[in-house]
Amino acid sequence: MSRPSLAVRRAVLFLAVAAAATACSTAPADSGTPSSRGSSRPSIDRAVAPLEPSLTVTDPTGRKITVSKQPERIVCLNGLCDDIVTTLGLTPVGTSNPALIKHPALLGEQTGAAVPVVPGTFGSEDVEAIASMRPDLVIGLPGVHDPLREAIERFAPLWTPDPVTWEQSVGYLRALGALTGRVEQARSAEEKFRGKLADAVERTRASGQAGKKVLLMYGSVDSIGVDTTASLKGDLLAKLFDYPFPGKGGDVATASNYNVEELLARQPDVVFVYSLLFSAKDRTLSAQLADNPVWQQIPAVKQQRVHEMHAKLWGSGRGTRSMAAIIDEALEKVPA
């Protein structure tokens, strides 16, 4: 496979930053300091509300979605879709995230490899190829796939969910469960995830892990992105650990950007990284930063607690399966 052009690589990085910044602009503002939030972190509600099949649902952002029949053939243009579709016991008829769907948390290598890949780059997928998959529903990302809406909706509805909290992610799972008539699968998955997260919160409190400062970052040396507390992964990690990385407002260009000096000032004990690599020759973000003298002073770096994680799982996976896997991996790597 040829190496993507510089323009494509920049576009992928921009979309990652834009997605995080969108979360910053739509999520509620943080209240209190990270330390005070950690000490008074509420328990997770394990209760699951009733759910009924419906051809019209309101998603967590208040948007109403209506389909003419229960969708069975779904094309996934974002990682949340791959996750919730497989969680409901369906298989996407097409995906733009083959590395994610082949992850063991979703379908695994063998089964995932059989899912057709939608050609084209992220945000510029081949609409004719999508149409040839005869979807009942196409699920993409707001802003990124809205320019394709007119063309896609000639043959299928386009839904663009974008959760910024774990509760919203569960809400999208419930919405698709209702639309597909797979309400028991949705409720079962929700109950399982709520239990896992509640148990994890209790474990981190008991073990002392809740007091550890954690950071999740991505990007490049020139543009370090952070999954802030106004993003799904930042919000999730903040439930478990001390996560002192709030969003910086609604400006897409700066909302999730932190420089190395700002990272040092917050003194993270553990750093998780998902590097956006385009070829075997590309260096991971942590490797690019290795010789930076400011980076070398960060506690996590000094203690060799910088972990390069699966980029698609930690970057694109946003459903209950992905979040459950992230919780397990984080608990394993954050010391007591």
Q: pLDDT, tens digit, for every residue of 271-290?
A: 999 998 777 788 999 999 99
Asked if 270 contacts 236 with a C-beta cutoff of 8 angstroms, the reply is: no
CA-nearest of 133, 141, 80, 89 to 111 is 89
Q: Which residues contact 257 (CB under 8 A, 6 or more apart)?
A: 17, 223, 224, 225, 226, 248
CA angle, 66 as apex, 63 and 70 as ends, to 5°? 130
How sure is the predictor about 242, in pLDDT bands with cuts at 50, 70 and 90? very high
How sure is the predictor about 21, in pLDDT bands with cuts at 50, 70 and 90? very low
pLDDT computed for residue 278 by the predictor:
72
CA-nearest of 289, 64, 313 to 175 is 64
At the top level of CATH, the class of 208-333 is alpha beta
Average pLDDT over residues 186-215: 97
Is pLDDT at 172 greater than 80 in this prediction? yes
pLDDT computed for residue 187 by the predictor:
98
For tokens 């109950």, name the residue. 191
pLDDT computed for residue 253 by the predictor:
66
Average pLDDT over residues 194-203: 97
Distance CA 27, CA 315 (A): 18
Is pLDDT at 14 greater than 50 in this prediction? no
pLDDT computed for residue 252 by the predictor:
67
Is pLDDT at 233 greater than 80 in this prediction? yes
CA-nearest of 162, 95, 199, 17 to 103 is 95
pTM over 0.85: yes
- Domain 56-186: CATH superfamily is Nitrogenase molybdenum iron protein domain (3.40.50.1980)
Average pLDDT over residues 105-113: 97
pLDDT computed for residue 13 by the predictor:
47
**Of residues 72 and 278, which shows the higher confidence score?**
72
CATH topology identical between 56-186 and 208-333: yes
CA-nearest of 234, 105, 218 to 165 is 234
pLDDT computed for residue 268 by the predictor:
98
pLDDT computed for residue 195 by the predictor:
98
Average pLDDT over residues 52-76: 96
Q: Where are the domains of the chain?
A: 56-186, 208-333
pLDDT computed for residue 37 by the predictor:
45
Average pLDDT over residues 140-145: 94
- What average pLDDT does the structure give for the chain? 89
